[in-house]
């Protein structure tokens, strides 16, 4: 992936002192956009404010490959503030966009050097994995980890809809269609029943119209 550094970024990186590395992470979810940074305090870039995580963010090196669909990123947040953890765990994030930037800040002012370099952009591809460590002699820590894949990865795998109302309406929402459809609402009542597609038949005594035996087990015949 070809990347171009702005002149100000080149100057900051080449400087022997006066600047510090910073990572900026943008995560979208069902609840909006979460902007976090490895800086020791909140920083502004453009019109956005990136919140200091109160801990550390570590990343596996983004894969450099000519196959854009194979690019992936695994990230870990440790010692993160409870507010950010609650935000990440409460909202739906799988399938939403994720963008990672590398930049420079002026420690004296906290200003981000324009413009940070986009290192990775893709889709969150996994749930957040939570690990807790507790020791009576030390402070407990919480580490959360997830992964993201290239935008092109979505075209490598078949995508479907589960036979429930929530999945169906999520599909409609992603397609910018009106939600509220209850098409799959009766699926649970059909569990364990034999559903035969054909002419709708009403049971009469021990048989149903058409000579089909009436099993008495609630079989459903649909035209």
List the pLDDT tens digit at each of the 223 positions of the chain. Answer: 566 777 777 777 777 677 888 889 999 988 889 999 988 889 989 889 999 887 778 887 666 656 555 578 888 888 777 777 788 878 888 888 999 998 898 888 888 888 898 888 888 888 888 887 776 666 667 788 888 888 777 666 656 677 788 888 888 887 888 888 888 888 888 777 777 776 555 555 555 445 555 555 555 544 4
Answer yes or no: is 90 within a domain: yes
Residue 97 CA to residue 120 CA, distance in Å, equals 11
Task: Let me know whether 175 and 197 are in one domain.
Answer: no
Q: For residue 199, is it within any domain? A: yes
Whether residues 155 and 212 share a domain: the answer is no
What's this model's pTM, rounded to 2 decimal places?
A: 0.63
Residue 110 and residue 208 in one domain: no
Encoded tokens for 40: 């020791």
Find the distance separating the first CA and the last CA of the chain, reported in whole Å.
55
Domain hosting 98: range is: 7-159
Q: Say if residue 184 is in the same domain as residue 217.
A: no
Total domains in the chain come to: 3
Do 166 and 146 share a structural domain?
Answer: no
Q: Is residue 2 a part of any domain in this protein? A: no
**Residue 101 in 3-state DSSP?**
strand
Does residue 86 sit in the same domain as residue 181?
no
């Amino acid at each position: 992936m070809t990347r171009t550094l702005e002149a100000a970024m080149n100057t900051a990186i080449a400087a022997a002192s006066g600047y510090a590395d910073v990572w900026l992470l943008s995560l979208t979810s069902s609840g909006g956009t979460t902007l976090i940074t490895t800086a020791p305090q909140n920083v502004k870039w453009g019109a956005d404010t990136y919140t200091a995580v109160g801990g550390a963010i570590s990343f596996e090196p983004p894969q450099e490959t000519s196959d854009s669909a194979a690019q992936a990123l695994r990230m870990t947040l440790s010692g993160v503030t409870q507010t950010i953890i609650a935000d990440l765990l409460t909202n739906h994030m799988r399938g939403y966009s994720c963008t990672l930037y590398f930049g420079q800040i002026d420690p004296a002012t906290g200003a981000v050097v324009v413009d940070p370099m986009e290192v990775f952009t893709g889709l969150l591809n996994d749930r957040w994995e939570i690990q807790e460590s507790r020791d009576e002699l030390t402070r407990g820590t919480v580490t959360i980890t997830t992964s993201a894949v290239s935008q092109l990865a979505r075209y490598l795998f078949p995508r479907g809809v589960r036979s429930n109302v929530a999945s169906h309406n999520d599909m409609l929402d992603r397609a910018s269609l009106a939600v509220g459809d209850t098409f799959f609402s009766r699926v649970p009542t059909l569990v364990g029943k034999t559903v035969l597609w054909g002419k709708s038949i009403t049971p009469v005594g021990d048989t149903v119209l058409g000579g089909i035996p009436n099993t008495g087990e609630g079989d459903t015949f649909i035209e």
